[in-house]
Structure 1
Amino acid sequence: MEKCTKGYFEFDTRQDGLYLTVYPPQQGEPALDAGEVLYYIEKKNIYGCDITLIGDTVKKGATQEVTVKVSDETPYPVSEFGDYRISHDTMTLEAVFYPPFKGAVELTYEEIQKDLKNIGVISGISEEAIRLFLLEKRYFETYVLAKGTKAREGSDGYIEYTFNTSLKPTPKMNEDGTVDFHTLENVNHIKSGDVVAILHPEDRGDNGTDILGRPVYPRKVKRAVFRYGKNMEVSEDKLKLISKVDGHVTLENDKVFVSNVLELVDVDASTGDINYSGSVMIKGNVLAGFSVKAAGDISVSGIVEGATIIADGDITFNRGVQGMNKAVIKAGGNIVSKFIESASSVEAGGNIEADSILHSKVRAKGTIKASGRNGLIVGGEVRSICLVEAKNIGNEMGTATVVGVGVDPAAKKRVDELKTSLQKLGDSKIQLNQIMTALRKKQEIEGKLAPDKVELQQKTMRNLVMIEKDLTEQKNELEQLRQQLGEDVNARVRVSGNIYVGVKLIFGEQNYFIKEKRTFCQFVKDKADIKWQSL
């Protein structure tokens, strides 16, 4: 047997009884603990030993080899054995080895392996630890002979939102120390195609194996799923939530909502100015000094004070505009309002319809009608390309009122300017194309162009692109103006009630002053004259 360098003991069965030999430690190793001897005799059911004598012998054996008879019994010799201990989680096997009786059988590698198999240990066995014990024979010391493979813990799936989920409108502090309540970050704007949320799938982890060969499962993880309303779609890889519309996005109780209609109560210091890529619906009022801009339609159920309202689509005011001579209203489409009063500027790409238009500057490419119960146009300036219609225009007090129909003279002037500009752009395009043709031929002949010619080619190409852009824009503008000029032919002012003295009618470049009250009539342009006709 290999000699153990730490203090150890050895039993020897002789004819007259059982003897114990205690070997002292070597090279500074620890001495034998009497408890190891007592555990041994209890473990192997060795009876009749003198416990006190064993204790004294162990003490003496700390410094010298001592052999004493400790029992008259002659037990069967015990082979070298291991005391194997499996942890509660069955992930670790620890072994403490004990020496054999003198001359008894020692453990081999195969026998230890067999022991492990007998107790069910089949996985994670450390051959190195077994061989180490066999090499050094350090008794009463713990050897880790097997370790299970721990499960790799996974992680819960989660949703990453690409927008601010906790908007807190905060006024901007200006450099001069004043507070700007107009610019508040209170809306998460998005465009069609924007990713509003990203799903990070759960990681389920990997199973482990305990030393008995059984699977060890990681903890259960939570799966994340998109929760969302309308106007969204999930990407093909199921990992992105994408908006299908321009608008805004919000998160309510872990559910994503996208809408192209922004609903507000009032527009005031609590909201700041609104600039929205969809439509806006305001249930209350728009206070003076604030602005609402939308790429879609705008609807206001309350009063619009001296505010700015601009929409690419239609504008609807259920009550009306009290402009305070400050309100600016502009729609790409139609404007419908209960009334328009003291507005600085009202413009529509389509028609304008109101019950009354008072002391306001109003323009429309389509018709303008004051056709409600009152049907009034009084004060200010009202201009339409084709038709202005009202029950009553002006009043008995002779309030100065301007009503214009037909194309503004400035538009006719612009048509002439566009024709001249388009001719020049066309000539420039021809010259640039000639330069490009010459350079291409030169390149084909010589194989490549000199650096200065390459630079000229690139510059010419850039200029061509810019000219093409200008040509397209100016042609579109010219076409729109020509359509307006065509409508100018049938321009008229129609009155189903009264038109009063003090009203000035403008047809293109011609003016017509109402010198006497007229009823149920219309005014049209007949060649170079403006004439009235009965309805």
Structure 2
Amino acid sequence: MVECIGGYFQFSVKADGLYFTVYPPKSGEQPATVADALYYLDKKKIMDCDTVKMKEAFSKAKEAPFTVKVSDAGALESREFGIYTMSSDLMEMEAVFYPPFEGAGMLDEDEIIKDIQHLGVKNGIKTDVVKDFLAHRRYGHRYVIAVGTAATEGSDGYIEYKFNTELKPTPKMNDDGTVDFHTLENVNHIRKGEVVAVLHPEDRGTPGEDLLGRKVMPKKVKHVIFRHGRDLTVSEDGLQLISSVSGHVTLENDKVFVSNVLEIVDVDNSTGDIDYQGNVNIKGNVLAGFSVKATGDIAVSGIVEGATIVAGGNITFNRGVQGMNRAVIKAGGNIVTKFLESVEQVEAGGSIETDSILHSKVNAKGSIKAAGKKGLIIGGEVRSMTLVEAKVIGNELGTATVIGVGVDPAAKRRLDELQKSLQTMGANKIQLNQIITALRKKQDLEGELSQDKKEMLQKTMKNMLIIDKELAEQKKEFEDLQSVVSEDSNARIKVYGTAYAGTKLVFGDQFMFIKEKYDHCQFIKERADIKSALL
């Protein structure tokens, strides 16, 4: 009798024939099966065996072993053996063990392992399973006796875009139930140096090894690379896509594009207000009530109605501005336009060139020239730091028209204020420096400052930073105003056609009303008087 915790059967050869014994399992274990016994007969080529009696033995061996003679003939005694089956992918081997004839030889660990190796297995033999079988011997049980090393599957590479790849401009619903068409998310803004996309490389996984020692490759994964247009750079590690310009970013067929020029057909309910880091080109019109702001240049091919246009650079209107008495136009540089009509406010850091200015308030640091085909300045107030040129100023109806050149008295007052402020802050800075120097000497001598002295030092240094920043800002403003004031002496108003009576001419803080018509002349300031002279 072998040591087995599961149910099993065993053949024995005696003088009068072949006997068959069925042993019941220990509590909780599985009984032996008729199918295993029949398989045993077939495997060991045992003939003339009474299978009916064998089946009866299984039914009677529920509580105690039951033995029955199954053949008058003997049989070749078989020792304990195992049947080994390898899976189709060669990654797993199962073993089913069968008992020996009574008194025949038993398997040991080395013999089992050699049998497995003889079948070609070079990898993954589970010696702990072999030991488990030898310790408990469950015949007919399927033991997973060898397992290959599975490949570690990888993952596809992918690109993480740091912007909205599916822009869908949607109007905002206000609390009062109205719809706001001005604030639409229709542009992915980007600043120079910002990361627009991050590449997550593919994980190719790790090869495994089957029972025969051959490599098992993981599934192929997707390899990705950045696809992009100009003005984008890839970081040194190849994992970040960085914009070289400020502007906007788009994704077209998995290719990233950035540009510092935003092109729009019309500015209306479909676009909302525009606020852009770069240049803006508008091929159509800008409707009343909307605004366009850009850090660079703005160009509009169509009409600008009662809108707000603000550019850090130049502004170009191919047609002009119909302001409806509410348009606001501001440029850090020059403004070029066909006409300005009923514009609430026009400001240029540079010059203004136009064909006509009608009933508008216009101000420029540079020259203002209405020298086109019409060359009109009628109504409103037009002021330049240096020069105003026009063919016609005012009209026969005496429409109130103000033309100003030179420095605004307010600018001169501001220059005086800045000069006094710079002197005061300079003195304050000297005092703060003295305090900081004294506290640091005390620290060097005593090794450490008291808590109140530490707080005083920190507060003084903070105040020093604030003053330095204010000094830099006010100094720049002072220098800009100084350069403007220095040009005041050359300021003039030129009229290539007619200046009509009723027009008010302003030179700095001096002014005069034209009382008669002047043709083809210029107006200049001589000391405290405003005079006309030939061109």
Q: TM tier, shorter chain?
A: over 0.9
- Where 2:327 maps in the other structure, the secondary structure is strand
Distance between the aligned counterparts of 1:54 and 1:352, measured in 2?
115
1:451-491 C-alpha deviation (Å, 9 max, x unpaired): 33333222222222222222222221111111111111111
Is 2:112 the counterpart of 1:134? no
Is 2:236 the counterpart of 1:208? no
Aligned to 2:431: 431
Query: What displacement does 1:342 show?
Result: 0.5
Aligned to 1:355: 355
Tell me the percent identity: 64
1:154-191 C-alpha deviation (Å, 9 max, x unpaired): 11111111122222222233333333222222222221
Aligned to 1:514: 514
Distance between the aligned counterparts of 2:71 and 2:307, measured in 1?
112
* 2:6–2:137 Cα contact (<8 Å) kept: no
Structure 2: gaps of 5 or more residues? none
Any residues of structure 2 matched to 1:1-150 within 5 Å, and which? 2-14=2-14, 17-27=17-27, 29-150=29-150
Aligned to 1:467: 467
Quick check: 137-146 or 64-73, which moved more?
64-73
Query: What displacement does 1:14 show?
Result: 4.6
1:315-336 C-alpha deviation (Å, 9 max, x unpaired): 1111110000101101000000
Structure 1: gaps of 5 or more residues? none
* 1:32–1:62 Cα contact (<8 Å) kept: no
Distance between the aligned counterparts of 1:375 and 1:304, measured in 2?
20
* 2:357–2:376 Cα contact (<8 Å) kept: yes
Distance between the aligned counterparts of 1:504 and 1:399, measured in 2?
10
Is 2:400 the counterpart of 1:400? yes
Aligned to 2:316: 316
Closer, same or farther: CA 451–27 of 1 in aligned 2, 3 Å:
closer
Query: What displacement does 1:28 show?
Result: 6.1
Any residues of structure 2 matched to 1:330-479 within 5 Å, and which? 330-479=330-479
* 1:2–1:136 Cα contact (<8 Å) kept: no
* 1:148–1:211 Cα contact (<8 Å) kept: yes
Distance between the aligned counterparts of 2:239 and 2:452, measured in 1?
51
* 1:7–1:62 Cα contact (<8 Å) kept: no
Distance between the aligned counterparts of 1:21 and 1:453, measured in 2?
101
1:231-280 C-alpha deviation (Å, 9 max, x unpaired): 11111111111111111112222222211111111111222211111111
Closer, same or farther: CA 343–56 of 1 in aligned 2, 3 Å:
same
* 2:386–2:492 Cα contact (<8 Å) kept: yes
Distance between the aligned counterparts of 2:25 and 2:293, measured in 1?
93
Aligned to 2:171: 171
TM-score (norm 2): 0.95
Number of positions where the alignment pairs a residue of Structure 1 with one of Structure 2:
535
- Where 2:487 maps in the other structure, the secondary structure is helix
TM-score (norm 1): 0.95
Distance between the aligned counterparts of 2:357 and 2:408, measured in 1?
21
Distance between the aligned counterparts of 1:65 and 1:165, measured in 2?
76
Is 2:313 the counterpart of 1:301? no
Distance between the aligned counterparts of 1:136 and 1:447, measured in 2?
79
Quick check: 310-319 or 443-452, which moved more?
443-452
Closer, same or farther: CA 344–5 of 1 in aligned 2, 3 Å:
closer
Quick check: 416-425 or 285-294, which moved more?
416-425
- Where 1:206 maps in the other structure, the secondary structure is coil
Distance between the aligned counterparts of 2:182 and 2:289, measured in 1?
9
Quick check: 444-453 or 246-255, which moved more?
444-453
Query: What displacement does 1:410 show?
Result: 1.2
Letter in 2 for 1:376: L
Any residues of structure 2 matched to 1:151-190 within 5 Å, and which? 151-190=151-190
* 1:171–1:184 Cα contact (<8 Å) kept: yes
Letter in 2 for 1:295: T
Query: What displacement does 1:72 show?
Result: 4.4
Quick check: 10-19 or 252-261, which moved more?
10-19
Q: CA RMSD in A?
A: 1.9
Query: What displacement does 1:11 show?
Result: 2.2
